[in-house]
């Protein structure tokens, strides 16, 4: 597997990011190894904090000090292809199954147990699969603005039409793409515009996506979101992720995600949702979890007012307080 590694110099003196870098190697699945970077702060029960696309562990910079001060150990890895972790250059190496394999390898390499998973976006698509396939390592789940798509409610017969719609969806500039995401449903799912922008638009910049998604992003924070991606060669994972989301029934990840849902339909460990009310992509996605997961019953599910897709940044203090109360109210 051919990879690139972002120079450490791009991560120097980042705003609000004093954390020590840690590295570990995981099996790439082809006989080689991948180096993953992670933050490991504090002591106590483990909170595994998984970011999504196109962010990295910098997303948890505001939450980590709060959680550590409350007596927890926070482990926040960079997904393969992001942050300081290795970045395969072939987009074909970024499959949903590979990401689950890599994260499972990470959890096993650190021998984490009694984990409280805090996850969002692709951190949830990957993390929830790891939970379903390794229940014994997890004590609780806190899900924010994410989920586990399995094509529920979409007839298999719709696949050809949906695939054609996706192929014919234009790759719009970022500003127009964001307008489509926030706008009303027209002739296709709004999410297809995000898939096509990341997949093919020549001016795809992860930092611009973050800036357009956050309530606040100053110049120094913009530099941090840009840091992992000095050139197109480093963006294969960031470009590929949206195309992997199983929104169409013939997606190869559907079967494994359906199997994971069967686990969660019987999952009686504490399960909490905390979604932002200003995220057009995942709005309402908490309902299925609340209605389906036994462990979600009688939990203090929350809608965070004014928070968009990246609630860890938009509502860091609120989400940290929710996580702390969740763990304390549900002792293992």
Catalogue all structural domains in the chain, each as residue range(s) with its CATH number.
3-152+251-329 (3.40.50.1820), 156-244 (no CATH)
Cis peptide before 311 (omega within 30 of 0): no
Q: Which of 134-143, 263-272, 276-285 has the lowest mean pLDDT?
A: 276-285
Around Cβ 320, how many Cβ atoms within 10 Å? Answer: 23
Catalytic residue among 37, 51, 197, 309: 309
- Tokens of residue 196, six digits: 């096509």
pTM more than 0.85: yes
Q: What is the pLDDT of residue 332?
A: 86
CA distance 83 to 143: 22
Say what percent of the chain tops pLDDT 70. 100
- The predicted-structure confidence for 30-80, as pLDDT tens digits, reads as follows 999 999 999 999 999 999 999 999 999 999 999 999 999 999 999 999 999
- Provide the β-strand partners of residue 302: 274
Catalytic residue among 78, 86, 279, 313: 279
User: Is the CB of residue 78 less than 8 Å from the CB of residue 105?
Assistant: no
313 a catalytic residue: no
3-state secondary structure of 139: strand
CA distance 67 to 78: 18
Q: What phi and psi values does residue 91 have, to the nearest 5 degrees?
A: -60, -25
CA distance 299 to 165: 39
Q: What is the pLDDT of residue 166?
A: 97
Nearest to 143 by CA among 271, 330, 327, 291: 271
3-state secondary structure of 46: strand
291 a catalytic residue: no
Around Cβ 267, how many Cβ atoms within 10 Å? Answer: 23
CA distance from start to end of the chain = 40
* Beta strands at 33-41 and 3-4: parallel, antiparallel or unpaired: unpaired
298 a catalytic residue: no
For the residues 119-137, what does the mean pLDDT come to?
Answer: 98
CA distance 192 to 188: 7
Catalytic residue among 93, 121, 313, 314: 121
């Amino acid at each position: 597997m051919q990879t690139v590694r972002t120079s450490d110099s791009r991560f120097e003196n980042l705003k609000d990011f004093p954390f020590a870098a840690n590295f570990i190697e995981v099996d790439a699945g082809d006989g080689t190894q991948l180096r993953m970077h992670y933050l490991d702060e504090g002591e106590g029960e483990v909170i595994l904090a998984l970011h999504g696309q196109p962010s990295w562990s910098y997303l948890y910079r505001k939450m980590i000090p709060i959680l550590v001060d409350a007596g927890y150990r926070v482990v926040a890895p960079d997904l393969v292809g992001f942050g300081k972790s290795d970045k395969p250059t072939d987009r074909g190496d970024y499959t949903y199954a590979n990401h689950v394999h890599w994260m499972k390898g990470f959890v096993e390499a650190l021998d984490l147990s009694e984990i409280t998973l805090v996850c969002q976006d692709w951190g949830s698509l990957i993390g929830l699969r790891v939970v379903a396939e390794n229940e014994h390592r997890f004590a609780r789940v806190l899900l924010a603005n994410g989920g586990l798509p399995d094509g529920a409610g979409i007839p298999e017969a719709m696949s050809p039409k949906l695939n054609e719609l996706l192929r014919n969806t234009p790759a719009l500039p970022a500003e127009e793409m964001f307008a489509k995401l926030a706008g009303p449903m027209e002739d296709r799912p709004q999410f297809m515009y995000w898939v096509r922008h990341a997949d093919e638009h020549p001016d795809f910049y992860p930092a611009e996506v973050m800036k357009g998604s956050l309530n606040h992003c100053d110049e120094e924070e913009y530099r941090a979101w840009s840091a992992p991606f000095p050139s197109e060669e480093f963006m294969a994972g960031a470009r590929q992720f949206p195309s992997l989301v199983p929104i169409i029934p013939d997606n190869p990840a559907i079967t494994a995600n359906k199997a994971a849902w069967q686990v969660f339909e019987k999952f009686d460990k504490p399960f909490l949702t905390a979604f932002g009310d200003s995220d057009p992509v995942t709005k309402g996605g908490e309902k299925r979890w609340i209605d389906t997961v036994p462990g979600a019953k009688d939990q203090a599910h929350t809608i965070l007012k004014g928070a968009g897709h990246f609630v860890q940044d938009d509502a860091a203090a609120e989400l940290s307080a929710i996580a702390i109360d969740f763990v304390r109210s549900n002792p293992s």
